[in-house]
Chains A and B, each alone.
Chain A
Amino acid sequence: MNKINKDNFKQDAYKYGFVTEIEDEKIPKGLNEEVVKLISSKKNEPNWMLEWRLAAYERLKSMEVPKWARANIAEIDFQDLYYYSSPKDFKDKPKSLEEVDPKLLETYEKLGIPLKEQEALAGVAVDAVFDSVSVATTFKEKLNEIGVIFCPISEAIQKHPDLVKKYIGSVIPVTDHFYATLNSAVFSDGSFVYIPKNVKCPMELSTYFRINASETGQFERTLIIADEGSYVSYLEGCTAPMRDENQLHAANVELVALDNAEIKYSTVQNWYPGDEDGKGGIYNFVTKRGLCKGKNSKISWTQIETGSAITWKYPSCILRGDNSTGEFYSVAITNNHQQADTGTKMIHLGKNTKSRIVSKGISAGKSSNTYRGLVNFHRKAENSKNFTQCDSLLVGSSCKANTIPLTENNSNTSSLEHEATTSKISDDQLFYCMQRGLDAEEAQSLIVNGFCKEVLQQLPMEFAVEAQKLVSISLEGSVG
């Protein structure tokens, strides 16, 4: 019924697919002890950091790639990857934006992240990570004044070794699982955040990750520590060029919230998803975990997952402090041949802990979308509560949606509530909107955005509008 010119949509489907022509410097392909040492020396790391990496690498040798995801993952040859790539002449990190290669600034401008014109993103401090290095961090001085540390993790290792030493690996141990351990051995850069006691961070902190080089894995590491009574809202965004090959992105993100602290972590993930036939795209295998270490602490994950060929991640909360709260709000959209297996783990250890899970999965094309979650109440987690809501929306009839919620309740006084729905966009809804003048794409996007509303409204204002557009773009070409 709707004459939609699909060819038009193909062309603007992924507008971040360009490649920046910039000379890069890579270390030789392959994974071995020398490579780990080389990465560490590139970063001028202290010995303790190198030892930590090498311990992870030792451990990795006896570990196997996990295979339980509900996804078809092509065999990855870990010896055929570059583990470090940086724009050339980047040995000395530029001290100010004036020293940054204009080509890099241009790249971020094209991505809608103007590092130079801060007026455009007032109220948001940005750390820009290009392949394996951090290019620039904005608003640093302003944040310094109130004691907030926001810098590349490579810099934090040099300047704040005590904090890094104390917390790195404290939430995701080096022994955790294959990809997390791989990251511990070869991580290149990422962001570090420390919010001092009783400081409410006055602006959004944001890291923008960009994979540019080919045949290169990106292994960033982010560590956020919110000291007692503090608050921070952090957002990450990700894009990559369109390439025929699958590229690996295996990040580790660790969050620590002390007494009465709150961390809000939002992700807008738009890695290149591959073409319509499923060729190319990012393998997004990420480990994200937050520890509510202190009493009354709170960690809230919000994720908008629209990109990647395969997304495999479970941002989780360990609720150790009494009265602590964990939240997970997720929109995962898959189109064409994309595969997503995502969800969360809420581990209730402390008393009176609460968790809330709201997952919205949208599948279109021939894609597959799985929610996988675990809610665990420890014996001592008295009077704890979980609420889980998993909604799936199917667009078309060739896609798949699965919901795998797992619960383990060892506490007599705790309670779980679970709701799940699967629905299709009804023809009546589309027709109603079209009768009022919206074309098929606009009508679908309106309905899908309505479906995701509860999650989208968790995002910081500055990004909510962008996220809505992204939701629409991700589903282009799937109507009719």
Chain B
Amino acid sequence: MLEIKNLDVSVEDKQIIKNLNLKIGPGEVHAIMGPNGSGKSTIAHTLAGKPNYLVEAGNVDFKNEDLIAKDPYERSLLGLFLAFQYPIELPGVTNASYLKQILNAHRKSRGENPIDAGEFLKILKEKSRNLNIPMEMHSRFVNAGFSGGEKKKNEVLQMDLLDPSLIIMDETDSGLDVDALKSTSEAVNKLRDGKRSFLIITHYLRLLEYIEPDHVHVFGDGSIIESGDKSLASRIDNEGYEVK
């Protein structure tokens, strides 16, 4: 699915990622844990193609394509989804019309016709119900004035809608209370179908208690310093990042 080889990334002339290697197979759930400021979010942004995130060396293979050579929207259409830590507000753009437009962009790339309004509403209702999102939220502007929980739920709704093959979650647990964390995680777990892969970036263990990873990596000083199974996450939680 995804293979990162010897990746160096710098942001504004500062090298953040140094010789990163990571392989994620189909259906696998990987978690990257690391202290604040370690640059773990940089991995997410680099994979999604954020401008100013400069790949200095190495390469990334995603579904047998050279990911780095592609524009951000092409990566999305290829099946890469990034759930943002801080979802962006789009004033004046209603959530419903935004969701419909991004869905149609994906349908178009698959050679399908734009979705019919009635059918879209049906899908939106069903998927919103799973996440306890009131339909009223869709007539508001995208993320504008949303609470932290609403923003994160809206991210999960989008990943559900776009049916990606790799989901990168950047600190999705931040800003969520226990109830929201639970319902959000349940929705994410429903997307685990044995084929779809996940890369979960988090500081804390708590998200991983709901979404159980197959592999856990500890990130420090721009690279993966230790890998293991989910027990590694519990150990980090008990002992902190300093202990190796």
B168 to chain A, nearest CB (A): 10
* Cβ of B241 under 8 Å from chain A: no
Bitwise, B72-92 to A at CB < 8 A (1) or not (0) is 110111000110100111111
Bitwise, A412-444 to B at CB < 8 A (1) or not (0) is 000000000000001111011111111110110
Contact B50 A431, beta carbon cutoff 8 Å: yes
* Cβ of B111 under 8 Å from chain A: no
Q: Which residues of B lie under 8 Å from residue A434 when comparing CB positions?
A: 49, 71-73, 76
* Cβ of B123 under 8 Å from chain A: no
Residue of B nearest to A360 (CB): B92
Contact B92 A433, beta carbon cutoff 8 Å: no
Contact A449 B93, beta carbon cutoff 8 Å: yes
Main secondary structure of the interface of A (DSSP, over half): helix
Contact A439 B71, beta carbon cutoff 8 Å: yes
Q: Which residues of B lie under 8 Å from residue A153 when comparing CB positions?
A: none
B149 to chain A, nearest CB (A): 19
Contact A450 B82, beta carbon cutoff 8 Å: no
A437 and B71 in contact, given A431-B51, A446-B93 (Cβ under 8 angstroms): no
* Cβ of B210 under 8 Å from chain A: no
Bitwise, A3-17 to B at CB < 8 A (1) or not (0) is 100000000000000
Number of interface residues of A (CB under 8 A): 27
Q: Which residues of B lie under 8 Å from residue A440 when comparing CB positions?
A: 71, 73
Closest 7 CB pairs of A and B: A450-B92, A450-B93, A432-B88, A453-B92, A437-B105, A434-B72, A436-B102
Contact B73 A437, beta carbon cutoff 8 Å: yes
* Cβ of B158 under 8 Å from chain A: yes
Q: Which residues of B lie under 8 Å from residue A449 when comparing CB positions?
A: 92-93
* Cβ of A2 under 8 Å from chain B: yes
Q: Which residues of A lie under 8 Å from residue B84 when comparing CB positions?
A: 432, 435
* Cβ of B141 under 8 Å from chain A: yes
Q: Roughly how many angstroms separate A1 CA and B48 CA in the complex, as a whole number? A: 13
Contact residue among A3, A427, A447 (Cβ-Cβ distance under 8 Å from B90): A447
Q: Roughly how many angstroms separate A258 CA and B76 CA in the complex, as a whole number? A: 57
* Cβ of B101 under 8 Å from chain A: yes
Beta-carbon contacts under 8 Å, A380-435 to B:
426-429, 431-435
Q: Which residues of A lie under 8 Å from residue B50 when comparing CB positions?
A: 431
Q: Which residues of A lie under 8 Å from residue B75 when comparing CB positions?
A: 435
Residue of A nearest to B97 (CB): A446
Contact B101 A438, beta carbon cutoff 8 Å: yes
* Cβ of A224 under 8 Å from chain B: no
Given A437-B77, A446-B101, list of 7 further CB < 8 A pairs?
A: A1-B49, A431-B51, A434-B72, A434-B73, A435-B72, A435-B73, A442-B73
Q: Which residues of A lie under 8 Å from residue B82 when comparing CB positions?
A: 435
Contact residue among A428, A437, A447, A453 (Cβ-Cβ distance under 8 Å from B76): A437
Contact B76 A2, beta carbon cutoff 8 Å: no
A458 to chain B, nearest CB (A): 14
Q: Roughly how many angstroms separate A442 CA and B76 CA in the complex, as a whole number? A: 14
Q: Roughly how many angstroms separate A324 CA and B102 CA in the complex, as a whole number? A: 44
Residue of B nearest to A2 (CB): B71
Beta-carbon contacts under 8 Å, A91-105 to B:
none
* Cβ of B109 under 8 Å from chain A: yes
Q: Which residues of A lie under 8 Å from residue B76 when comparing CB positions?
A: 434-437
* Cβ of A454 under 8 Å from chain B: yes
Q: Which residues of A lie under 8 Å from residue B141 when comparing CB positions?
A: 450
Residue of B nearest to A454 (CB): B92
* Cβ of A292 under 8 Å from chain B: no
Residue of A nearest to B93 (CB): A450
Contact A429 B105, beta carbon cutoff 8 Å: no
A372 to chain B, nearest CB (A): 24
Residue of B nearest to A450 (CB): B92
* Cβ of A452 under 8 Å from chain B: yes
Residue of A nearest to B84 (CB): A432
A80 to chain B, nearest CB (A): 45
Q: Roughly how many angstroms separate A457 CA and B89 CA in the complex, as a whole number? A: 20
Sample (22) of A-B pairs whose CB atoms are under 8 Å apart: A3-B71, A428-B88, A429-B88, A431-B48, A431-B51, A432-B84, A432-B87, A433-B90, A434-B76, A435-B72, A435-B76, A436-B102, A436-B105, A437-B73, A437-B102, A438-B102, A446-B90, A446-B101, A447-B93, A449-B92, A449-B93, A453-B93
Bitwise, A41-85 to B at CB < 8 A (1) or not (0) is 000000000000000000000000000000000000000000000
Q: Which residues of B lie under 8 Å from residue A139 when comparing CB positions?
A: none
B162 to chain A, nearest CB (A): 7
* Cβ of B106 under 8 Å from chain A: yes
* Cβ of A451 under 8 Å from chain B: yes
Q: Which residues of B lie under 8 Å from residue A432 when comparing CB positions?
A: 84, 87-88, 90
Q: Roughly how many angstroms separate A415 CA and B198 CA in the complex, as a whole number? A: 57
Q: Which residues of B lie under 8 Å from residue A446 when comparing CB positions?
A: 90, 93, 98, 101
Contact B71 A436, beta carbon cutoff 8 Å: no
Contact residue among A3, A437, A439 (Cβ-Cβ distance under 8 Å from B106): A437
Q: Which residues of B lie under 8 Å from residue A454 when comparing CB positions?
A: 92
